[in-house]
């Protein structure tokens, strides 16, 4: 069965950096595009970034463009999100999600990122 397990969350100061990882199993990771989606405490879902199955194209929400970088290592079945210049408004649970049918068909359990001094 499909499993997505995020890690790397934690508390970081404003202006700091953090790298999230998402370990995938149960499907052919190298054949699917992948997303990062976040949810601030008590708020709705916000799409963050997408990477094609082969890493050839990447797309970002305006709110993170230039600060976040999505990447993947298909040999390790792992998705990454490098987050730099973090701000208080980046505080959220970050989910990785698999793309199919132009939808987010499987989600991880999420990892919490808190940006605070």
Partner 1 sequence: QSALTQPASVSGSPGQSITISCTGTSSDVGGYNYVSWYQQHPGKAPKLMIYEVSNRPSGVSNRFSGSKSGNTASLTISGLQAEDEADYYCSSYTSSSTLGYVFGTGTKVTVL
Query: Closest CB to partner 1 among 8 and 110?
Result: 110
The SS3 assignment for 44 reads coil
Binding part of the chain for partner 1, among 10-18, 45-53, 67-75, 77-85 by CB under 8 A, reads 45-53
**Dist. CA 86–CA 71, nearest whole Å:** 18
Q: How far is the CB of 117 from partner 1 (least distance, A)?
A: 27
State which of residues 55, 59, 82, 91 lies at the interface with partner 1 (CB under 8 A): 59
Q: Phi then psi for 15, rounded to 5 degrees?
A: 90, -10
C-alpha distance from residue 102 to each of 42, 50, 84 (Å)? 26, 11, 28
Q: Which positions touch partner 1 (CB under 8 A)?
A: 35, 37, 44-47, 50, 59-62, 65, 95, 100-110
């Amino acid at each position: 069965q499909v499993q997505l397990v995020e890690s790397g969350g934690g508390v970081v100061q404003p202006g700091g950096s953090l790298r999230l990882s998402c370990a995938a199993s149960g499907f052919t990771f190298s054949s699917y595009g992948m997303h990062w989606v976040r949810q601030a405490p008590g708020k709705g879902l916000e799409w963050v970034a997408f990477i094609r199955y082969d890493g050839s194209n990447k797309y970002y929400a305006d709110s993170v463009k230039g600060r976040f970088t999505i990447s993947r290592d298909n040999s390790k079945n792992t998705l990454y999100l490098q987050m730099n210049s973090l701000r208080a408004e980046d505080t959220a649970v970050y989910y990785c999600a698999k793309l199919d049918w132009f939808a987010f068909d499987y989600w991880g359990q999420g990892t919490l990122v808190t940006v605070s001094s």
